[in-house]
Amino acid sequence: MSKNQSDDMPTGAFNEGRRRFLAGSAAVGAVGMAGAAGVAGVGALTRSQPAQAASNGNGLSVHVDPGELDTYYGFWSSGQSGEVRVMGVPSMRELARIPVFNRCSATGWGQTNESLAVLGDSAQFQNGDLHHVHMSYTDGKYDGRYLYVHDKLNTRVARIRLDIMRCDKMVTVPNAHAIHGLRVQKAPKTGYVFANGENIVPLPNDGRHLDEPEHYWSVFTGIDGESMEIKWQVWVDGNLDNCNADYSGRFAASTCYNAERGVTLADKMRFERDWVVVFDIHAIERAVESGDYITIEGSDVPVVDGRGPDTPFTRYIPVPKNPHGINATPDGKYLIANGKLSPTCTVIDTHKLPDLFDNKIELRDTVVAEPELGLGPLHTTYDGRGNAYTTLFIDSQVVKWNVEDAIRHYNGESVNYIRQKLDVHYQPGHLNATLAETAEADGQWLVVLSKFSKDRFLPVGPLHPENDQLIDISGDEMKLVHDGPAFAEPHDCIMCRPDQLNPSPIYSRDDPYWEQARKWAEEDGVDLDTASTVIRNGNKVRVYLTAVAPQYSMNKFTVKQGDEVTVIVTNLDRIEDLSHGFAIINYGVSMEVNPQQTSSITFTADKPGVYWYFCTWFCHALHMEMAGRMLVEPA
């Protein structure tokens, strides 16, 4: 391994270099950009990355000076917290939280009419379990349009708009019982969102079969990432754990740890081998188009039968028992399944899959390597230079190994494919390297999401934080550079370059997000942009307010006890970062109203008296005075 030349290089010098580069590029790149310095700077930093890596070897600085910007965005899942977290990498600073399956006190997610419309028929659920977050792709690369996430707890899939970083669609998946693995089609574009039904249940699950596991099944679901319509499902043997898609657009694959279709721990570990089930998306589409499907009582989603060894839709490739993660190499050549109970990973050659479906080769002929890596391999990521990095849950390590060398070893050559083992702290689950889920894997940073932090932070009582560790992989050796405590419980994360996103600085007044409020205004004959009035229709009352720092357009409004009140607030400030809120004391009402946004909330005015409403976002020196009174006349 080459000696790292920059080990002794002071970080100050490194940052000095970045600042100079930034200053130079900002001047050149400012053409036609809103907020020129900041935006141009982001691009400049990104473009400078490869050069730094080349000249500095394994000496990336984790330090981001005050006022400087991170060189990558990270999107972290949060497990049972139900939200998505936006991180800056390498600083590991949390930049934002996007509420999805949870409830959010700050934004009013789960309470505003706009969020309730997104939550739809699952609005009664206050929680979720969000393990995986993946961005939309075009031609194998992140395209910055959407994030897709799933809810293991309440069997849902949701989408996040990346321009406003808010969830705009959510669907409950029928016939499945807990969505776990979730991936999206990488090419030609997203395309499908693939969702794994993890647990086996009776189909339909309506009580006619209870303790009869022979009637329990799983389904694999394809959702249209644009319309978020559920297009089809595949009825599979076994169960489905994690999922991935190839780079051709034709295949998806899922690990199965319960080929036994068991219902106890002992049952689920009985077989020496489980499998990776590969789906031929084109064959599924053809069957659905030609009407060659069934539906299962209670839903009209087309279901094709993918059970058995010789269906047009599936192939079940045997792998060592109870595999977990499955990860596509950035060159599109391989899908690598992680052994979990086996100390191995199984390397499947994606270019052999067409022959497998044509029955020209046997199932195991698709396996080109099965390297032994250590105890408890869970997930694998890549640096774009031919190396794979796999978490070893039981060994508490990340092992770096070379894929082509593992293939040579499998073919009988005497070659050591292991490059390095690095201790992490402790018990790592997912890991991901910058852009590693895409064709543009750049081998700069690797984040490993450690499930136990034990002694790494100041004690905070019995519930410890997780430990999201940052590793510099830009040189020959992995270097652990940062510990990041996180609240429950990031399972997975992805990272992209800032130039791959285009977040809006303020809302656009024609955003479809508040379509309902627009319709109400039309019905009531008022203009949302200027309305400052109370419209009564029986006991339904709509209160239209605008906000300009530091005032609402009305100092008071009057309703009657028992009225169903909808307050619609439009923030007329056009200034970036000038968010207002709207909250009513002792009514449990609170929501965000960002620049140029309209937000609304509906409640029953069940208590007579005087109730102050106020702005929750500190927006002005007179923010405390930004308030008014709701007068509720006794019935």
Residues that bind ligand CUA (CB under 6 A): 549-550, 580, 615, 617-619, 623, 626
> In the bound complex, what is the minimum distance in angstroms from residue 256's beta carbon to Ca ion?
8
Which residue of 18, 132, 177, 479 would you call a contact of ligand CUK, by CB under 6 A?
132
Residue type, 578: L
Q: Is 514 annotated as a binding-site member? A: no
> In the bound complex, what is the minimum distance in angstroms from residue 580's beta carbon to ligand CUA?
4
Say which residues have a Cβ less than 8 Å from residue 261's Cβ, sequence separation at least 6: 200, 213, 216, 237, 238, 239
CA distance 165 to 307: 39
Q: Is 282 annotated as a binding-site member? A: no
Cβ proximity of 321 and 342 under 8 Å: yes
> In the bound complex, what is the minimum distance in angstroms from residue 535's beta carbon to ligand CUA?
24
CA distance 57 to 142: 26
The SS3 of residue 64 is coil
Q: Is 351 annotated as a binding-site member? A: no
Cβ proximity of 4 and 57 under 8 Å: yes
Q: Is 150 annotated as a binding-site member? A: no
Q: Smaller CB distance to ligand CUA: residue 33 or 575?
A: 575
State the residues that interact with Ca ion by CB under 5 A.
257, 268, 274, 322
| 294: its two tokens | 């069934």
Which residues 316-345 are close enough to bind ligand CUK by CB under 6 A? 324-325
Which spans in 214-278 are helix H?
265-268
> In the bound complex, what is the minimum distance in angstroms from residue 110's beta carbon to ligand CUA?
22
Which residues 354-383 are close enough to bind ligand CUK by CB under 6 A? 378-379
Which residue of 18, 161, 180, 315 would you call a contact of ligand CUK, by CB under 6 A?
180
Q: Smaller CB distance to ligand CUK: residue 131 or 315?
A: 131
Q: Smaller CB distance to ligand CUA: residue 613 or 617?
A: 617
How many other CB atoms are found less than 10 A from the CB of residue 159? 23
- Location of structure tokens 């390397």: 347
Q: Smaller CB distance to ligand CUA: residue 432 or 546?
A: 546
Residue 247 sits at the vertex; the CA angle it makes with 496 and 278, to the nearest 5 degrees, is 120
The reply to whether 581 sits near ligand CUK by the rule CB under 6 A is no
How many other CB atoms are found less than 10 A from the CB of residue 565? 23
Q: Is 482 annotated as a binding-site member? A: no
Q: Is 623 annotated as a binding-site member? A: yes
The reply to whether 134 sits near ligand CUK by the rule CB under 6 A is no
Q: Is 215 annotated as a binding-site member? A: no
How many other CB atoms are found less than 10 A from the CB of residue 23? 12
Q: Is 464 annotated as a binding-site member? A: no
The reply to whether 242 sits near ligand CUK by the rule CB under 6 A is yes
Q: Smaller CB distance to ligand CUK: residue 454 or 519?
A: 454
> In the bound complex, what is the minimum distance in angstroms from residue 615's beta carbon to ligand CUA?
3
Q: Is 235 annotated as a binding-site member? A: no
- In angstroms, the Cα distances linking 93 to 72, 437, 481, 505 are 11, 22, 14, 20
> In the bound complex, what is the minimum distance in angstroms from residue 353's beta carbon to Ca ion?
23
Q: Which does 274 bind (CB under 5 to 8 A by kind): Ca ion, ligand CUA, ligand CUK, none?
A: Ca ion
Residue 444: name the closest of 129, 56, 42 by CA: 56
| 226: its two tokens | 């644009």
- In angstroms, the Cα distances linking 510 to 119, 200, 314, 506, 507 are 21, 44, 44, 12, 8
Q: Is 617 annotated as a binding-site member? A: yes
Separation of first and last alpha carbons in the chain: 81
> In the bound complex, what is the minimum distance in angstroms from residue 341's beta carbon to Ca ion?
8
> In the bound complex, what is the minimum distance in angstroms from residue 378's beta carbon to ligand CUK?
5
CA distance 97 to 349: 38
The reply to whether 183 sits near ligand CUK by the rule CB under 6 A is no
CA distance 79 to 202: 26
The reply to whether 492 sits near ligand CUK by the rule CB under 6 A is yes
The SS3 of residue 520 is helix
Q: What are the binding residues for Cu cation? A: 131-132, 180, 324, 379, 430, 491, 580, 615, 617, 619, 623, 626
The site for ligand CUK (CB under 6 A) is made up of 131-132, 180, 242, 324-325, 378-379, 429-430, 491-492
